[in-house]
Amino acid sequence: MGRFYLFIAVFGLLASCNQEDVDQYNYTVRGRVTHEITGLGVPGVWVYTEYGEPCCGSIAFRKGLDSAKTNFEGKYTLQISYPEDTLIYRFITFLKAGTLNNQFYQYSGLDVQDIGLTRFEYNEMVAPVVPAKLPDGHLQSCDFTILPVGYVEIDFRNRGSAPTDTVSVKAIRMDKNQEYKNVLFYPSYSFGLHLFPVPASIPTLLIQENTYNGNTVTVRDTLNLKAGQRVSRTLER
């Protein structure tokens, strides 16, 4: 009886080892996060990769997530072991950011503040683009470019607006003559401060269009903020 239990234990151990070898595939993504103006690597930025069942250019159900922080050269490497089965997985690599316009995202991570994400390519971020089974040991390259930002603190606290009144605020990078953010506010429903990102050390044209009772007034303001700098603007009639 003792030999029988020993055989079962050894057999189970071997089966477990073989199961791990069969059931695990490896995926590696590496790249660099650089400063848009200087081209230098940016250290200390978290990069994330998640994977799951593909759907509609993204992921339907997330199966796993891993992350890595860029080193002193702005480089990162993520190595993921994932279960190999009949499902086809899609991997997406990203920085935590909220969508703006013209490939400019506002970074939202708490580890590094006051930066914008200005370069990201879908074909690099997503693998595979067309659903297919990736080979074991697949290597993916994915780079990002970021830019420090300052903020305009838009204040709606001193408002007495009608529900139909609107305020449109858009920002244009004057070095590229490129609009990168355009937001429509309803002052009567907007509360507190809204942080509006402005690329740091780059002249930026801020255009405010106030519409009250069908009449529109346009206000233009040129800003040149430092990284992390904040200036206040109270939007009123």
pLDDT tens digits along 40-74: 998 988 899 999 999 888 899 899 999 999 999 99
Question: 192 falls in which pLDDT band (50, 70, 90)?
Answer: low
What mean pLDDT is predicted for residues 123-149?
91
- Report the distance separating Cα 49 and Cα 138, nearest Å: 14
Spacing of C-alpha 187 from chain mean position: 28
Top-confidence residue, 192 or 127: 127
pLDDT at 147: 80
What mean pLDDT is predicted for residues 104-124?
62
For 39, the token pair is 């081209």
Cα distance from N-terminal residue to C-terminal residue, the chain: 91
DSSP, collapsed to helix, strand or coil, labels residue 139 as: strand
Give the number of other CB atoms < 10 A from CB of residue 125: 20
Look at the block and give the residue holding tokens 């390259």.
141
CA proximity to 115, closest of 90, 149, 140: 149
pLDDT at 107: 52
Would the pLDDT of 13 be above 70? no
Dihedral angle of Cα 152, 157, 160, 166, to the nearest 10 degrees: 30
In whole numbers, what is the pLDDT of the chain averaged over residues?
79
CB 202 within 8 A of CB 149: no
pLDDT at 11: 36
For 33, the token pair is 């996060």
Q: Work out whether strand 178-185 and strand 193-199 pair parallel, antiparallel, or are unpaired.
A: unpaired
- Report the distance separating Cα 36 and Cα 93, nearest Å: 19
Top-confidence residue, 64 or 6: 64
The percentage of the chain sitting over the pLDDT mark of 90, rounded to a whole number, equals 32
Would the pLDDT of 159 be above 60? no
What mean pLDDT is predicted for residues 127-135?
92
CA angle (168, 187, 228) in 5-degree steps: 65
Phi, psi of 158 (to 5 degrees): -100, 65
pLDDT at 110: 46
For 174, the token pair is 């004057």
Top-confidence residue, 231 or 75: 75
For 134, the token pair is 């990736």
pLDDT tens digits, one per residue of 90-103: 999 988 765 444 44
CA proximity to 22, closest of 69, 80, 85: 85
pTM, entire model: 0.68
Task: Collect all residues with Cβ–Cβ distance below 8 Å to 18 and sequence separation of at least 6.
Answer: none
pLDDT at 130: 93
pLDDT at 74: 95
